[in-house]
Amino acid sequence: MSLPEPVDSIIRNKLAAESLDVTYRESLNFDERVGREFPDVLVIHYTALPLEESLSHLVRAATRVSTHFVIGRDGELFQLVSAARRAWHAGASLFAGEPDVNSRSLGIDLVFVPDQDDGYPQHQVEVLTTMCRVLCRMFPIRSDGIVGHQHVAMPRGRKQDPGRWLDWNFLYRESGMGEPPPFLTSPVLF
């Protein structure tokens, strides 16, 4: 696969209209979506590594992990896997009673190192909300379909990203999705 595919060109153009540039760094870790043509969920992650280490890790075939988009701490935006393909970001997962969250979702990773960083910078969150707004307009994203890795990973409690630092109320409101579902804003015990 060579980025961009037609859907990726559309995404790039819509993001450019919002003053966001996308840099392509192609990952070797992807395959075809199973049972779905279009994603209906956005899964937000944190990388747990600095930007260059994250990108290197997510594109290397040996890691067998990837994501569609990475947003750096300064708002740099990278696309690693075509939106038409299944990235390998959610692992063992369940959403709305269905396994294989990777086939139904787009993964968005925020560069964040839990032991080093204290929250997500404003510009990084602004890029995330713009990304979510654009993707929600392009794809049939469910009204409860912007979630964290912590909300879909199985068994429950296996993952903690994007963690307590992400303001779900702000993200849903600024993405044009209204109010977040209660399972996102209620305390999650690990």
> Given this model, what pLDDT does residue 3 score?
67
Predicted confidence pLDDT, tens digits, the chain (190 residues): 466 789 999 999 999 999 999 999 999 999 999 999 999 999 999 999 999 999 999 999 999 999 999 999 999 999 999 999 999 999 999 999 999 999 999 999 999 999 999 999 999 999 999 999 999 999 999 999 999 999 999 999 999 999 999 999 999 999 999 999 998 987 544 3
The CATH number that applies at residue 53 is 3.40.80.10
Q: What is the pTM of this model?
A: 0.96
190 located within any domain: no
- Measured between alpha carbons, how far is 67 from 86 in angstroms, rounded to an integer? 9
Residue 32 included in any domain? yes
Residue 185 is predicted with a pLDDT of: 82
CB atoms within 10 A of CB 160: 16
Q: What share of the chain is helix, strand, coil (3-state, %, to 5)?
A: 35, 15, 50
Would you state the pLDDT for residue 128?
A: 98
- One-letter amino acid at 153 equals A
Residue 182 forms part of a structural domain: no
Burial of 149 (0-12, 13-18, 19+ CB in 10 A): buried
Q: Assess if residue 188 is contained within a domain.
A: no
What is the domain count for the chain?
1
Distance of CA 122 to the CA centre of its chain: 17
The range of the structural domain enclosing residue 154 comes to: 6-176
Domain assignment present for residue 110? The answer is yes
Question: Is 134 within a domain?
Answer: yes
Residue 95 forms part of a structural domain: yes
Per-residue pLDDT at 1:
45
Domain assignment present for residue 189? The answer is no
